[in-house]
């Protein structure tokens, strides 16, 4: 699949299946395995050029945890049990012990006081802190759950500790909006000012793509919004964003696209259009600046509505082979062609249904001024599910070859390339001469 990073949802001991209700930050959930097996996973992955990123859920714990111990299942003096608990100041109680701050009012997720010095020491500063303990096990990369609910000071502290041990460590934040001008809890956030986050999840891109597919916006709007995002984000961030179509928090892309299609469409045709749309959006993602994130099972045809339906098991032995082959192919393209990773980027709105963009490296220099092999590619996609559309794109003169089918070669004449795209068809072209 061309994967270089595996991002895991929470793996620490917890009561629930989703494990966002942490019971013990220092222990692997026994349903998953042991600490030793996890450390072996890190080493085995590294041997294959793959790194591991963990989900850091540091805004709240589980009520059933060492720290809160509401269910009295841990051999500890939890904050719920006594005001003398070493963890009591980590939480905010209004009428002790049953009235306390909880994440979105969910009683099993008591909210942590992120400014509490003792909690910050437990999380970052102490020799046996959560971060330092897992650093010794080889964990260098973290995705911060609900980063908006952590203070910038705490995020900076996490950042400094990670970089102190390994400058290539990555701290990524869950942010759903434009992270360059994000405000939360009355404060303007410093995510992109340096020393805070290395990257964020690119939900704005996903929203633009899906609105385009639904027909809520046209290609001209997509061009404007993506250009705005490109202008807002410093280039280093724009090229390091975590881009995705599905995640554990949203419906799977196959289900969403299927639901957008007309209900009176014949089911076989509906499935064919659905898969063509998935291919069109995934190729968009894999050709676009940023890091494409593949939610497990999307490559195998797994569907799923709202949580928890979007967390079905992987269908071992029953994968959709055509889709799996497709994801392997686009993963290979991205890996083999540096232009798709660090090349310059320019969007094109060619018709209300036609969106595309160029990626290029010229004169041996990529978008960051680094030496790279010259290459020029064009991505095009027709969102219309019933009508063909012809793309007239102003482009350099010469021959252009389709990566999907290298027998398809198009000629650009007088600086203009014309290509007819079938309904829901996508294409990635490479300049030949």
Which active-site residues does the annotation give? 145, 174
Which residues make Cβ contacts (< 8 Å) with residue 328, sequence separation at least 6?
Answer: 1, 2, 299
* Distance of alpha carbon 402 from alpha carbon 422, whole angstroms: 14
Angle in degrees, 0-180, between the axes of helices 203-214 and 267-287, rounded to the nearest 10: 140
| Pairing outcome for strands 291-293 and 242-244 | parallel
Helices (H), 152-265: 152-165, 203-214, 219-232, 235-238, 253-260
* Distance of alpha carbon 399 from alpha carbon 66, whole angstroms: 65
- Identify the CA nearest to 393 among candidates 425, 361, 346, 360: 346
Q: Which residue has the tokens 């098991």?
A: 313
Which residues make Cβ contacts (< 8 Å) with residue 321, sequence separation at least 6?
Answer: none
**H/E segment holding residue 284:** helix 267-287
Which residues make Cβ contacts (< 8 Å) with residue 86, sequence separation at least 6?
Answer: 77, 118
**H/E segment holding residue 44:** helix 35-47
* Distance of alpha carbon 365 from alpha carbon 11, whole angstroms: 41
**H/E segment holding residue 323:** helix 321-336
């Amino acid at each position: 699949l061309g994967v270089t990073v595996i991002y895991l949802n929470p793996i620490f001991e917890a009561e629930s299946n989703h494990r966002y209700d942490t019971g013990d930050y220092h222990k692997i959930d026994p349903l998953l395995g042991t600490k030793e097996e996890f450390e072996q996973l890190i080493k085995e992955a590294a041997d294959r050029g793959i790194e591991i990123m963990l989900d850091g859920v540091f805004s709240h714990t589980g009520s059933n945890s060492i720290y809160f111990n509401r269910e009295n299942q841990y051999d500890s003096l939890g904050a719920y049990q006594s005001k003398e608990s070493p963890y009591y100041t980590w939480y905010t109680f209004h009428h002790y012990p049953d009235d306390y701050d909880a994440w979105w009012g969910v009683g099993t997720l008591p909210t942590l006081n992120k400014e509490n010095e003792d909690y910050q020491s437990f999380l970052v500063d102490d020799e046996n802190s959560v971060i330092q303990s897992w650093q010794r096990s080889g964990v260098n990369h973290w995705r911060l759950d609900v980063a908006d609910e952590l203070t910038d000071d705490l995020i900076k502290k996490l950042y400094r500790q990670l970089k102190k041990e390994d400058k290539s460590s990555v701290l990524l934040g869950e942010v759903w909006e434009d992270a360059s001008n994000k405000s939360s809890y009355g404060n303007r956030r410093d995510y992109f000012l340096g020393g805070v986050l290395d990257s964020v999840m690119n939900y704005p891109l996903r929203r633009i793509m899906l609105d385009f597919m639904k027909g809520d916006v046209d290609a001209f709007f997509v061009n404007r919004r993506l250009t705005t995002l490109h202008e807002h984000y410093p280039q280093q961030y724009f090229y390091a964003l975590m881009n995705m179509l599905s995640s554990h928090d949203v419906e799977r892309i196959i289900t969403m696209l299927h639901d957008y299609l007309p209900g009176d469409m014949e089911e076989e045709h509906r499935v064919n259009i659905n898969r063509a749309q998935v291919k069109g959006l995934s190729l968009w993602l894999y050709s676009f600046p940023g890091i494409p994130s593949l939610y497990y099972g999307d490559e195998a045809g797994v569907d799923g509505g709202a949580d928890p339906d979007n967390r079905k098991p992987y269908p071992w032995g029953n994968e959709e082979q055509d889709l799996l082959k497709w994801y392997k192919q686009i993963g290979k393209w991205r890996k083999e062609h540096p232009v798709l990773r660090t090349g310059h980027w320019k969007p094109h709105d060619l018709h209300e249904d036609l969106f595309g963009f160029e990626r290029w490296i010229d004169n041996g220099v990529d978008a960051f001024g680094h030496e790279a092999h010259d290459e020029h590619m064009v991505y095009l996609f027709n969102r219309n599910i019933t009508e063909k559309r012809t793309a007239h794109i102003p482009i350099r003169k010469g021959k252009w070859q389709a990566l999907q089918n290298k027998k398809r070669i198009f000629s650009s004449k007088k600086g203009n390339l014309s290509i007819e795209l079938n309904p829901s068809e996508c294409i990635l072209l490479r300049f030949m001469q």
